[in-house]
Homo-oligomer: A and B are copies of this chain.
Amino acid sequence: MVWNKFFNPRAVAVVGASDSEGKVGYSVLKNLIEYKHPRNIYPINPKSETVQGLKSYRSLLEAPDGIDLAIIIIPSQFILPVFEDCGKKAIQTIVVISAGFKETGIEGAKLEDDLVKKAKELGIRFIGPNCLGIIDTHSRLNASFSAGVPPAGNIAFFSQSGALCTAVLDWAMGEKIGFSKFISIGNKADVTEIDMLEMLKDDADSDVILGYIEGVTDGVKFMQKAKEVSQKKPLVILKAGSTASGAKAASSHTGTLAGSQKAFDAAFKQANIIKAESVEDLFDFALAFSYQPIPKGPHLTIITNAGGPGIMAADACEKSTLKMAKLSKKTVDKLRESLPPVAALYNPVDVIGDARADRYKNAIETVIEDKGVDGILVLLTPQEMTDVEDIARIIGDLSLRSNKPILASFLGENAVKKGIEILNEKRVPNYSFPEHAIRAFEAMVKYEQDIKRPSLRPKRFKVNKKKVKDVFDSVRKIGNFDIGESEAREIISAYGFSLPKSVLAETSEDAVSIANKIGYPVVLKVSSPDILHKSDVGGVKVGLQNDKEVRDAFQQIMINSKRFMPGSHINGIFVQEMARGGKEVILGVTRDPQFGPMIMFGLGGIYVEVLKDVSFRIAPICEHDARAMITEINSFPLLKGVRGEKAADIDAIKNSLLRLSQLVIDFSEIIEGDINPLLVKSKDEGAIAIDVRFTIKEE
């Protein structure tokens, strides 16, 4: 409803419409007029009777009623009163093109805040400020200062960068690629990227959504909305600023390894967003999704009239997650009948340099029938006999009749230009280089796999939430925000983690008798609220084998603790079961400023510290996420077991990740923490949390 007023208004007012060429107020009005549509356009300009031949009004208040949309292009400091006029005229949708707001500093930010407040007060929604405007090719609205309009089509684009809008528009016009809507969201003071997702999800004109963002307004809502969109149509997003180092002084491993980019990557995965690494990806993916059906699987066949490019395309395919289709005997036999003897009948199918359209036709028709083929990439080099245009036409016609995707890569420039135009008309995406076609096909396959996976609710385990709350209350009371040892043990124990047996001993004879109950070997650890880094003061002794060693260790720890930390309060010494065997993994949690709690997984020790081989997801995570976190690390084979070892208890890791996720969702005071190591036993034998620490918020 509100979106309809933005994108298909009955009447539009242009506040700041101008007769002076070169001014933005001139371009916007001109664009509105030239993109013909029977809607009323009212220039607002206090100084003229007419603007660009249209009757002009001194103010909005003097303009006729029934205006759905106001476009504002006057200097920033004069805009607030115009909002008030809009309120009086019952105009509730506005595009503020003018710059001079948050992007210029503190004063601008103040102006922007005022606009937002006023809009809230009057029930107004507005796009911008500091934007290029909006275009709808189906309702024929060009409320922007763009230098033209692309053909109508089914691709929508929203962008946080106006300049990028200009470049994408220019590309779309140059390549004659059809778009449905262009929305430059500018500073997104009111209408945000989340609104765009909401609107475009249900927009019947848009089958593919492209977005360029530099940040998100609300990470959780963004993910939720993006996930809904992805279920209906492909959502391709380019996130810039990926390597901006979040110079964050983190005290946990997880904190050190996390960062804004990790959070975005995780969020994109969980929301089934197709990630574009560059503007080029945006274009490449948009074409494939816009023009072709989604493949049912990853099996690609390459048809080429030249060996070299065929090999290169096959190389790119092998390096990707795609598979080169294995053609059936029937297909190969049929190809043999219709192709010359020197042709290559296996994938890549080489129809040979002198191939003309009929040979391409035979090859494509034969291959596309093969049940083992999910899609085709047709390569062409412009050789002596190559009838480029006829071949393009044949490919286009076959593509229109097929429910398997066909992509093309015509190599060259002038000699293939006309052919590429024909392909484009017939909605076959052409890529200047086969590698790009492969990458686009891969994006399609991945999208299909992502949305086919059923959506799971995060599992809720039965836990003792009250217990954890009590622990937090008590540590907070004594001003302890770095929680280690016994309190951290209590917390994760309440959330169902297994821990090594551990009993506090007050005397060395206590310790010996506890050790005998637990069973040797054991670990002794000093327990003191004043000693955080127990190892550093000689407060930990591991691998104690017998009574004598326990007795000696007890004395030594007492001596060390008193020597290094004189005056510290010592509760006693923990005698702990020494868990052995199994694989050490690390589970972590950190809090991202945009997406909130984030869970980390990796193999312990050097895998995390040196190789940084870890995975992240935004909490809460579901079982799919937990499994993906475990399998996507490079060292996953070590968990599956190498050299005849038994596999580790993957289910135990999965459940640990889910329990940790539940914990951080339940307690927003947790800022970061590690369970490091979690000792994972063999399959069905579980996992034990050996060491745990959390940092919580001070308030």
Contacts and interface: CB of A to CB of B under 8 A. Distances in A.
A609 B385 CA distance: 50
Nearest to A242: B315
A196 B277 CA distance: 38
Find the residue from A22, A384, A385 having the highest chain B CB count within 10 A: A384
A383 interface: yes
Given A382-B147, A412-B170, A214 B308 contact: yes
Given A278-B312, A308-B161, A413-B175, A606 B638 contact: yes
Nearest to A261: B315
A106 interface: no
A160 interface: yes
A160 B309 CA distance: 11
A167 B279 contact: no
Contacts of A306: 161-164, 167
A280 B411 CA distance: 11
A432 interface: yes
A103 interface: yes
A319 B279 CA distance: 16
Contacts of A314: 243
Nearest to A643: B609
Contacts of A319: 242-243
A342 interface: yes
A408 interface: no
A167 B382 contact: yes
A265 B308 CA distance: 19
A611 B642 CA distance: 11
Interface in A150-172: 159-164, 166-167, 169-171
Given A27-B384, A280-B433, A382-B167, A240 B412 contact: no
Nearest to A412: B170
Interface string A292-330: 000000000000011111011011101100000000000
Contacts of A589: none
A544 to B, nearest CB: 21
B315 A240 contact: yes
A565 to B, nearest CB: 22
Interface string A422-464: 0000000000110100000000000000000000000000000
10 tightest A-B CB contacts, nearest first? A174-B413, A163-B306, A161-B308, A170-B412, A167-B411, A243-B318, A163-B381, A240-B311, A167-B412, A164-B308
Interface of A: 22, 24, 27, 103-105, 145, 147, 159-164, 166-167, 169-171, 173-175, 212, 214, 238, 240-243, 277-280, 305-309, 311-312, 314-316, 318-319, 341-342, 353, 381-385, 411-417, 432-433, 435, 606, 609-611, 634-635, 637-638, 642-643
